Structure 1
Amino acid sequence: MEAIYTQGIWMAESLQQRTRTQEKLWILVTHLGDPKAAFLLLFPFTYFLSRRAGVAVIWVAALSEWLNLVFKWMLFGERPFWWIGESRLFVNKQPQVRQFSSTCETGPGSPSGHAMVTAAAWWVVVSSLGSYLYTRTHSVLLSAVPYLLYVIMLVAVGLSRIFILAHFPHQVVAGSITGIILGVILSRRVPEGRPLLFFFGLSFGLLLGTVLLHDGLRKLGINLSWSIALAEKWCSHEEWIRLDTAPFSSLTRDCGALLGLGLAQYWKPGGYSLPWAPRALCLAFSSMGLYHVNRLPLPIQPQGLFYGLFFVKFVIVPQIVMVLVPGLVHLFTHKKRKD
C-alpha cells in the first residue's frame, strides 16, 4: 500500500498546485458532498418534488453512511494529512501541500464517506429524474443527461476530497462505486407505510449493535480510536478537530434520522397533499428551519451528552420537513381557500 499512498500524496500536491485559484470552489464542493448535506439539503429539496423520492433519500443516506462507518472500522484506511508524517517517507523531500478547515476528520479514511453517501443518495434523484424524462420524451439521449451530470458531480466531490488531503484517490473511487451499488439496491426498498416499531427497532438496533461491535473489538485488542489520536497529532490547527466528524457522530445522525423518519410517517401517514406553490413555500421554510437546527451549538463535554443531543437533532429533521412545516402551510392555505 505504500506505493499507492505515495502516489496519492503526489497527486494531491499536483492538484493543489494546478488548481490553487479554485480553492474556494473545492471547499464548496466538499461541503456539498458532506453526508449531512444529504439530510439537510437534498432531503427537503427532493421531498417537496416527490414524496417517495424524498423518503428514499433519507433512507439511503442513513443506511449508506452507517455502512460506511462499519467499512471504515474494518479497513483501517489512512488519511493523507496524517500519513505524510507517520510514514516518514518524505523526510528528504516534503510534499508542498496544505491543510484546510475541512481536512482534519477523525475517522479512518477508507472508503470515502463523502463519495459513498453522495453517490448513494444522489442515485435516488438521478434515477427518478432519468425515468421521468424518458417517460415524457422517450428520448434515451435526454434521459441520459442526469446520469452524465451525476458522474461529473462524483468526480468533483472525489477531487475535492483529494485536494484538501482528506482522502487518497483509491478511497474516493471505492466510496463512489460502493455508493452507486447501495443506491441501486436500497432505493428499491423504500420504507413507506412501515409501522413505527420497525423504525424504532432499526434505529436502536443499529445503535446498540454498533456500540457492541465497537466494545467487542476493543476487548479483542483492536483500538478503533487510533485514527482520532493521529488526527489530533497531525492536524495543523487544533480547532479544526471537531467532534461532529467523529465516527459516533455519524452513527447517531443516521440512527436519529431513521427514527425521525418513522415518527414523521406515524404522525402523518401519507403526508400532506399540497399544490406546487405551497410546496415551494414549504421548501423555503423547511430550509430555514433546518439551517437553524444545524447551527444549534451543542456542549462537547461530556461526550455522551453531545451524542445524545446530536441524535435528537436529527430526529427533528424529518419532523420539520414532513410534518411541522407542511402542516402549518396546509392549515394556512386551507383557511385562505375557505375564506
Structure 2
Amino acid sequence: MEAVHTQGILFAETLQERAMSQEQLWLVVTHMGDPKAAFLLLFPFTYFVSRRAGVAVLWVAAVSEWLNLVFKWMLFGERPFWWIGESGLFVNKQPKVHQFSSTCETGPGSPSGHAMVTAAVWWVVVSSLGSFLYSRTHSVVLSVSPYLFYVSMLLAIGLSRIFILAHFPHQVVAGSITGFILGVVLNRRVPEGRPLLFFFGCSVAMVLGALLLHAALQQLGIDLSWSIALAKKWCSRPEWIRLDTAPFSSLTRDCGALLGLGLAQYWKPGGWSLPWAPRALSLAISAMGLYHVNRLPLPVQPQGLFYGLFFVKYVIVPQVVMVLVPGVVHLFTHRKKKD
C-alpha cells in the first residue's frame, strides 16, 4: 500500500498545483458530497417531487452511511493529511500540499464516505428521473442524460476529496463503486408504509451492531480511536477538528433519521396530498427550517450529551419535512381554497 499511497500524494500535489485557483469551487463541491447533505438538502427536495423517491433517499442515505462506518472500522484506511507525516517518506522533501477547513476528518479513510453515500443516494434520483424521462419522451438520449450527470458529479466529488487531502484516489473509487451497488440494491427495497416497529428495530439494530463490532475489535486489541489521535496530531489547525465528523456522529445521525422516518409515517400514513404550488412552498419552508435545525449549537462536552442531542436533531428532520411543514401548508391553503 505504500506505493499506492505515495502515488496518491503525488496526484493530490499535482491537482492542487493546477487547480488551486478554483479552491472555493472544490470546497463547495466537497460540501455537496457531505453525507449530511443527503439528509438536509436532497431528501426534502426529492420528497416534495416524489414521496417514494424522498423516502428512498433517506433510507439509502442512512443505511449506506452506517455501512460506510462499518467498512471504515474494518479496513483501517489512512488519510493523506496524516499519512504524509506518519509515513516518514517525506522527511527530506515535503510535498507541496495544503490543508483546508474540511480536510481534518477524524474517522478512518477507506472507503470514502462522501463518494459512497453520494453514489448511493443520487442513484435513487437519477434512475427515477431517467425512467420518468423515457416514459414521457421515449428518447434514449434524453433519458441517458441523468446518468451522465451522475458520473460527472461522482468524478467532481472524488477529485474534491483528493484535492483537500481527505482521501486517496483508491478510497474514492472504492466508495463510488460500493455506493453505486448499494443504491441499486436498496432502491428496490424502500420501506414505504412499514410500521413504526420496523424502523425502531432498524435503529436499535444499527446501534447494537456498531457497538458489538466496536467491542469485538477492542477485545482483539484494536484501538478504534487511532484515527482521531492522528487527525489531532497532524491537522494544521485545532479548530478544524470537529466532533460531528467522528464515527459515532454518523451512527447517531443514521439511527435518528431512520427512527424519525418511522415516526413521520406513523403520524401521517401516506403523507399530505398537496398540489404543486403548496409543495413548492413546503419545500422552501422545510429548507429554511432544516437550515436552522442544522445550525443549532450543541455542547461538545460531555460527549454523551452531544451524541444524544445529535440523535434528536436527525429524528426531527423527517418530522419537519414529512409532517409539520406540509401539514401547516395544507391547513392554510385548504382553508383559503375553502373560503
Task: Tell whether the structures are fold-level matches, with TM greater than 0.5.
Answer: yes
Pairing 1:299–2:287 present: no
Partner Cα distance (1:187, 1:135) in 2: 19
Shift in Å at residue 213 of structure 1?
Answer: 1.5
Partner secondary structure for residue 277 of structure 2 = helix
- Aligned residue for 1:25? 25
1:241-267 deviations in whole A, cap 9, x for unaligned?
000000000000000000000000000
Secondary structure in structure 2 of the residue aligned to 1:48: helix
Deviation at 1:212, TM superposition (A): 2.0
How far off its partner does 1:93 sit? Answer: 1.2
Q: CA deviation at 1:172?
A: 0.3
Q: What residue is the counterpart of 1:161 in the other structure?
A: 161
Alignment of 1:15-54 (within 5 A): 15-54=15-54
SS in 2 for 1:285: helix
**Structure 2 residue aligned with 1:251:** 251
Aligned to 2:226: 226
Q: Distance in 1 between matches of 2:164 and 2:74?
A: 24
Q: Which residue of 1 aligns with 2:178?
A: 178
User: Which letter does structure 2 place at the counterpart of 1:331?
Assistant: L
Match status 1:4 vs 2:16? no
User: What is the identity, as a one-letter code, of the residue corresponding to 1:234?
Assistant: W
CA distance in 2: counterparts of 1:162 and 1:330, whole angstroms: 45
C-alpha displacement of 1:310: 0.3
Correspondences of 1:190-339 after superposition (within 5 Å): 190-339=190-339
Identity %: 83
List structure 1 runs of 4+ shifted beyond 6 angstroms. Answer: none
Alignment of 1:76-91 (within 5 A): 76-91=76-91
Q: Give the aligned CA root-mean-square deviation in angstroms.
A: 0.5
Please give the secondary structure, in 1, of the residue aligned with 2:317: helix
Task: Tell me how far 1:92 sits from its aligned partner.
Answer: 1.3
2:139 corresponds to 1:139 = yes
What residue identity is the alignment partner of 1:217? L
1:207-266 per-position Cα deviation (integer Å, ceiling 9, x unaligned): 122112112211221111110000000001000000000000000000000000000000
C-alpha distance in structure 2 between counterparts of 1:306 and 1:213, whole Å = 22
**Aligned-partner Cα distance in 2 for 1:249–1:116:** 17
- Aligned partner of 2:96 in structure 1 is 96
Q: How do 1:54-93 and structure 2 match up within 5 A?
A: 54-93=54-93
Matched letter for residue 294 of structure 1: N
Q: When the two structures are aligned, how many residues end up with a matched partner?
A: 339
Looking at structure 2, the residues matched to 192 and 154 of structure 1 have their Cα atoms a distance apart, in angstroms, of 27
Matches of 1:134 and 1:15 in 2, distance apart?
A: 38
Task: Provide the rounded CA distance (Å) in 2 between the counterparts of 1:316 and 1:215.
Answer: 29
Q: Distance in 1 between matches of 2:267 and 2:258?
A: 14
For structure 1, list consecutive stretches of 5 or more residues without a partner in the other structure: none
In structure 2, runs of 5+ residues without a counterpart are none
> Structure 1: which amino acid aligns with 2:30?
T
Q: Secondary structure of 1:300's partner?
A: coil
Amino acid at match of 2:87: S
Counterpart residue type for residue 112 of structure 1: S
The one-letter code sitting in structure 1 at the alignment partner of 2:6 is T
- What corresponds to 2:14 in structure 1? 14
Matching residue's letter, 1:131: S
What secondary structure does 1:135 align onto? Answer: helix
TM-score (norm 1): 0.99
Alpha-carbon distance in structure 1 between the residues aligned to 2:145 and 2:182: 21
